[in-house]
Amino acid sequence: MSRRLAFLGPPGTFSEEAALRYEPEAQLVPFVSISAVAAALDSGMADEGVVPIENSLEGSVTETLDVLIQNARLSLRNEIVLPIEHLLLAGPGTKASDVKVISSIPQALAQCRGFIERCFPKAALEAALSTAAAVEEVMGREGAAAIGNRRAAELYGAEVLSEGIQDRSSNLTRFVVLSDEDHPPTGDDKTSLAFAFAVEDRSGLLVSALEEFSKRGINLSKIESRPSKERLGVYIFLADSDGHRTEQPLAECLERVREKCSFFRVLGSYPRYREAQ
């Protein structure tokens, strides 16, 4: 039996496209939110899940970060990087001059802001739960268009009014694969972690933790913070480092960082995404 792969649905989203690239033979199961994907893994409704975590234009997907921080049972097992091409889609027979409303998720609307301002300055913008849902909802709706992808156009029978409408051609989204365990070492891996310090701890602890990486020559490709949701001004730091958690020098480094923290969790080690040649 093929693996059940949950994704942020409905069918026709970029998350589904990422899931198809990751595991073309998997049984794809759509869910309405990132939290619902995580719950599906917890309950055994799915074996793995694909969710967005970062966009090159809009930054991190905070719901995914919060799920990873709060759910100790989930691990990052892989990553997929997907070029994002946005299309303006509408029901058959709709002309660009007819469009009075444009619908999509807020991130897609933001990524196409320049195009909308140039070509549809008077159009009303509507937020949708997903790009695919936006396409489905505008079908048969007079004067409405949606920002979505080519697969959504095919699934829902939409016509392409314009393609490549994102403001920057280098629009990439990074997706992660959630599982109950991370990936064995491959020789070209990344490790993600989350950590925090006690409120009463002395200043300089973040610098001290980061020095554990720098003095071992370990590159940190990303570091950011999220509110702890427990107290104002208390943050949880998230970082991506080179290497696998089980291999030196990273294994020793992580232990030294753990000793300095009031909260510490390795979110997972997984193969670094490399575009197929």
The residue type found at 89 is L
What is the DSSP track for 152-190?
HHHHHT-EEEEE--SS-S--EEEEEEEESS-PPP-SSEE
Any catalytic annotation for residue 173?
A: yes
From 13, 64, 94, 173, the catalytic residue = 173
| CA dihedral of 29, 35, 41, 46, whole degrees rounded to 10 | 0
| H or E element, residue 151 | helix 150-156
The angle that helices 34-43 and 62-70 make with each other, rounded to 10 degrees, is 30
Whether the CB-CB separation of 171 and 57 falls below 8 Å is answered with yes
How far apart (Å, rounded) are the C-alpha atoms in residues 41 and 255? 28
How far apart (Å, rounded) are the C-alpha atoms in residues 195 and 178? 19
How far apart (Å, rounded) are the C-alpha atoms in residues 116 and 125? 9
How far apart (Å, rounded) are the C-alpha atoms in residues 30 and 53? 17
Name the DSSP letter for residue 96: G
Select from 83, 86, 75 the least CA-distant residue to 112. 86
Any catalytic annotation for residue 175?
A: yes
From 7, 14, 115, 175, the catalytic residue = 175
Q: Find how far residue 92's CA is from the centre of its chain.
A: 32
**Residue given tokens 């997706």 in the structure block:** 175
**Residue given tokens 């990074």 in the structure block:** 174
How far apart (Å, rounded) are the C-alpha atoms in residues 84 and 58? 12
Catalytically active residues, by annotation: 173, 175
